[in-house]
Amino acid sequence: MRVSTQLSVLLAAASAHVSAQDTGELGDAAEVNNNPAGVVYKATLPEAAFFEPTYPDGDNIKGDVTAEANPDGGVRFTLKLSNLPETGGPFSYHLHVDPVPENGNCTATLAHLDPYIRGEATPCEKEAPATCQVGDLSGKYGSITPDEEGAFEATYVDLYASTLEGIGAFFGNRSIVFHHPNKTRISCANFEQVTLPGPGEGDGSDDGSDDGSDNGSGDGDDDNSAPSTTSVPSAIITPPPSNTGNGTVPPPPPTSSIETAGAAGLKVGAATALVAAAAFAMML
């Protein structure tokens, strides 16, 4: 009897714990392990905030949120924000169901992305992220607390969001919304698929710049400089003249000074060839 009583207490406690976590009606969120490699989405905040009282001068939070398929499953989120409100934090943020319309109305993004129908009445528990709404990023990984300069950066992997179109956890056609603690929506932005620059791309470097490297010609110039024009041309060998039929041999055509200078070592051979040709002509 005592054992059954203890078991009942344990089961009740376990049930209460699950209830406190308030997992979704469809169960815990599933880890996503088939996100397509190399797919990247980015949400860049607009120039002006949606909630104007936060920025009376017409300014806004600056920055973006990048989301890339993680090789080991889930999605790697990177937040780079600045110009955050000086007061009123910490600030929450979530993936929302609908995109931001053209008029920038953050209210039109509707509720948090919640394919497992968890709801948000009970706060998310960081220790059990699978029981949280898929879109409750700040609930799972912490709210935004700006530094002294109003900036905030964070990178983490969420195992439950997806960059694979066609499933409930996909957010590539949705939005991200930033809130005051009282849930007032400060600003929002749509995710768009982008291509990140590869190694050596987008860094402003110019392959045509003068880096002082040699192209292997031995002239000391870089690969993109004009070649040197001071090199000595190779010798031009003039073939021996043909017989004219009158027993005489016309003089060889004049050579340029460059040819003469370049073919100095061939003079003796050329003279010998001329003598032989003349002797052969006289024998005909």
pLDDT tens for each residue of 183-217: 999 999 999 999 877 656 554 444 444 444 444 44
Q: Decide if 220 is inside a domain.
A: no
What is the pairing mode between strands 62-69 and 40-44?
antiparallel
Domain end among 194, 222, 253: 194
Cα angle value 216/220/225 (rounded, 5°): 85
Q: Decide if 168 is inside a domain.
A: yes
Report the predicted TM-score, pTM, of the whole model to 2 decimal places. Answer: 0.65
Tell me: do 28 and 96 sit in the same domain: yes
Tell me: do 42 and 175 sit in the same domain: yes
Tell me: do 138 and 187 sit in the same domain: yes
Q: Decide if 115 is inside a domain.
A: yes
Range of the domain at 172: 22-194
Residues of the chain under the 50 pLDDT cut: 1, 3, 5, 7, 9-20, 203-284
Tell me: do 277 and 143 sit in the same domain: no
Task: Count the domains in the chain.
Answer: 2
d(CA 281, CA 211): 62
